[in-house]
Structure 1
């Protein structure tokens, strides 16, 4: 085990409260009272002149959309208010979200927001004309989804009851782009469940730059099998059904179309001879005559960027990437078209995610960034100055730092100056940006900068949060590296120790794991509420550790792809090996090592307890996948291929088939209304454990989804897990 130079002691804030007794951490302060939550600057929407941004403020007087001065950070105008809208409509209005037209004279007001799944929602929309001081409902009837202004601000497209519509704001006349949409059968302009969850596609339409056309996806899910969940609370439980394609099963048939508003003509885009494919991204060219889109085969080991003619629907191939494992869409989907048709994109084809420039035909002109490190994301492309702003992990795989480089790959400069992780929100004219930065010693700091990186103003630095933490007894969090099961590869890790840590004592160890493909749990960021729980456990005599096994992110393609077709094998081996390494420390009680995780982490903790029965004495699994055959097509087949082609990869590391090895204490927790990792996973694992005559504990949360929250559920869950750890570990 090697401790890195990143060794942080979280007693830095002790100076704030050295003269007073420290408080003990407790569940209520962490998960009920929100004592450790910090502040941020939310809802930033840059305005077109680049000198102002808008934000939404909600207080006892109502909801306000305000115009903020960049330099002073003070409001200079109220652009809309719930009271004003209520007076105009003679009905009460709450502003849940808002969206400007291009000239900023009209605002789409979203109210009565109703979540559907993770990224989808429906609401009632109103169009507020600032100049005329009038407001009108966008549409009549049922709620709408994804209402979006056309680029010229004269029209709004939206989805209602699985069909796509356009409203002309001059006449408020509504035109149906599609009419045959049907629940659980045919969706237009909105993603199906699996596209939404795994490709982040909820809104599945896009305006052309000239506002004359709409490109949209349609999903025929009529042959996709339904999954049903019982929703409790009434005399007879309600059965909720939705289409969910499990690994190896039928996907939706997908179609890409372009609707011409002037002619009311719909042109189908040729998707080629292969039917069982994915179209996860689309991009309009600057001339509005060509629609580029990403095409992937079902196994996701082939990716093509195609350019379709908006008139006849025929396409030409711009580029193609193939892989012996999979082509990671998240590393290949950032594409920015330039005025001459050339484009900038990201790819990990050289082993690390980097930025590339291509000409209009798709030919690669140059690789703009390179090295044995990853670009995290392109923040923006300043087309006037030919500069690319991006976040990368060049300095450390634990941190996202902020850089700028020109189109030629020259003049690369780091703009961020502080340790830790960064998020950037650039103004449309690339004159200013707002930076969100934190590290393990410093709470979230929100600052305004010019394009040169100079800090102009501090918008939030969470002094109150730092002082709150200072009032509590907090231990230490140490970053380190441990070896993988191959004995050679370094894995990022951290360990939390109690404030009164004594190296001469023996401590039980609780490991937290996620471990899924591309994920990162070990990062140099300020502690979260869950970290506060870990510090609470530390103060009760536990050590808490986390290891990012092989297969996780931040260290390149080979490190991540090594788990292909064998999810769980190498990951669990690494966690077991790390636990054995920790056990060699004189201050760790090797007979009391536990592990817990959620979702993929619950899968890992279950598998580790069973495969590592000689190492782990206790495990908690929250909402775990227990057999990859039960999970969805897009995610599972990307990493496992299909169960028809790779049956052993599905079964060899499924906890369901390792129950005979269980020796320690096992606690299984799940929500009954989990639309993502179905409750079925828990039921089938329990059945296998019962058949093997293995004793375990289980608990279910009625009507809770994958996040298990709402109506005291979070507090209840962490109280229950705390009690279990105190009892069993």
Structure 2
């Protein structure tokens, strides 16, 4: 296939596309995926009265320990013409280049790729000359037990003096994901953020003002807020704490305006359904309300949804772990103890316990609670410090 993300990229690496437009719109980078060594796995449609193609699907599935697909990266002009293949083959005999995790364009039509080894402990950022396909290694990062992929790689324009053509990178080398400024050669010039909390996503950059906007957990791991920090580290002073721009507890998802003066804030909490506001990017002040949930939501009272109780326990190593308790109504089912269901997610990079309306409307947990069953939801990796 060409220009499509294969199974591993979509399911395990959160890469949903297989093609990327250059910043000036003149070139397209794309993947070529070779499935020839991947066996087919048949999925039957349960309940079908027929047999044959209508009752089954065959998919190329890379089994654990077996071969993966082979992925090449090519570049073609948007006006057509020959393809230039980059000096890269993922899934081949070199286990250091097993997975093509991310592809990004930088300014001046420089193409970069993030490549991960098979054990997912080593990530390389490669830079390609799209005319020849020649590659250079810009940066290598190695972490144990694995590297968490992200989308924080952000190229910088040539408008920032000595940081021209560099990039922002996010690393967990301190145990928490934080932002770092790198020059065009990959040399780290210093941290942009630090502390016992994590950066989630970069929301935008104002290079002219020297500011970077991001969402993170500075105010606690159960919430997410928009913050602003200086883009360029000051060598002669200590790193200043980021400035919080969102108001109100809970989870905030933001979209910044292109002119970098306003932002849309979509937020909710355990006690409040989502609402949408237009805010000032300078100080976070409210400009106008775009959407407010109605005071009474049809059908909600009948469901008798009660927000879970957020609790925390201490792990043996001192790490604070958070959980959500959905308690049965004592007036209906009497005092505890109750039958209990423990809901655990053991995979990396997914947090299920936080101050968000989505936990209040967890209908499976609420249904079990309504039947007298206590639901205890906890995830051990939620602080992102494993």
The TM-score by the shorter chain falls in which range?
Answer: 0.7 to 0.9
Distance in 2 (CA, whole Å) between partners of 1:506 and 1:284 is: 57
Q: Which one has a larger percent helix, Structure 1 or Structure 2?
A: 1
* 2:121 aligned partner: 301
The question of whether the paired residues in 1 share the 8 Å contact of 2:41 and 2:61 is answered with yes
The question of whether the paired residues in 2 share the 8 Å contact of 1:475 and 1:538 is answered with no
* 1:556 aligned partner: 384
Distance in 2 (CA, whole Å) between partners of 1:328 and 1:408 is: 25
* 1:329 aligned partner: 149
State the SS of the aligned residue for 2:362. Answer: helix
* 1:278 aligned partner: 99
Compute the displacement of 1:423 (Å). Answer: 0.6
Q: How does 1:478-497 map to 2 (within 5 A)?
A: 478-484=309-315, 486=316, 488-497=318-327
Q: How does 1:148-159 map to 2 (within 5 A)?
A: none
TM-score by length of 1: 0.47
Q: How does 1:62-461 map to 2 (within 5 A)?
A: 187-231=1-45, 233=48, 235-238=50-53, 239-261=56-78, 264-271=81-88, 275-276=94-95, 277-288=98-109, 290-330=110-150, 333-339=151-157, 340-408=164-232, 410=240, 412-452=242-282, 453-461=284-292
Deviant stretches of 4+, over 4 Å:
464-468, 501-505, 527-530
Taking structure 1 as reference, are residues 388 and 476 closer, same or farther at Cα in structure 2, changes over 3 Å only? closer
Please identify the structure whose Cα radius of gyration is greater.
1
Compute the displacement of 1:463 (Å). Answer: 2.0
Q: How does 1:560-639 map to 2 (within 5 A)?
A: 560=386
State the SS of the aligned residue for 1:538. Answer: helix
When structure 1 is superposed on structure 2, of 242-251 and 523-532 the one drifting more is 523-532
Segments of structure 1 that go 5 or more residues without pairing to the other structure are 1-186, 561-729
Taking structure 1 as reference, are residues 465 and 316 closer, same or farther at Cα in structure 2, changes over 3 Å only? farther
Distance in 1 (CA, whole Å) between partners of 2:127 and 2:307 is: 53
Compute the displacement of 1:464 (Å). Answer: 4.6
Matched positions, count: 365
The question of whether the paired residues in 2 share the 8 Å contact of 1:474 and 1:498 is answered with no
Taking structure 1 as reference, are residues 297 and 494 closer, same or farther at Cα in structure 2, changes over 3 Å only? same
Distance in 1 (CA, whole Å) between partners of 2:93 and 2:183 is: 27
Compute the displacement of 1:428 (Å). Answer: 2.1
Segments of structure 2 that go 5 or more residues without pairing to the other structure are 158-163, 234-239
The question of whether the paired residues in 1 share the 8 Å contact of 2:260 and 2:281 is answered with yes
Deviations 1:145-189 (A, max 9, x none): xxxxxxxxxxxxxxxxxxxxxxxxxxxxxxxxxxxxxxxxxx111
**RMSD of aligned Cα (Å):** 2.4
Deviations 1:569-604 (A, max 9, x none): xxxxxxxxxxxxxxxxxxxxxxxxxxxxxxxxxxxx
Deviations 1:229-271 (A, max 9, x none): 1236463242311111011111111111112356712211112
Structure having greater relative contact order (Cα 8 Å, sep ≥ 6): 1
Compute the displacement of 1:424 (Å). Answer: 0.7
TM-score by length of 2: 0.87
* 2:236 aligned partner: none
Distance in 2 (CA, whole Å) between partners of 1:536 and 1:350 is: 41
Taking structure 1 as reference, are residues 537 and 266 closer, same or farther at Cα in structure 2, changes over 3 Å only? closer
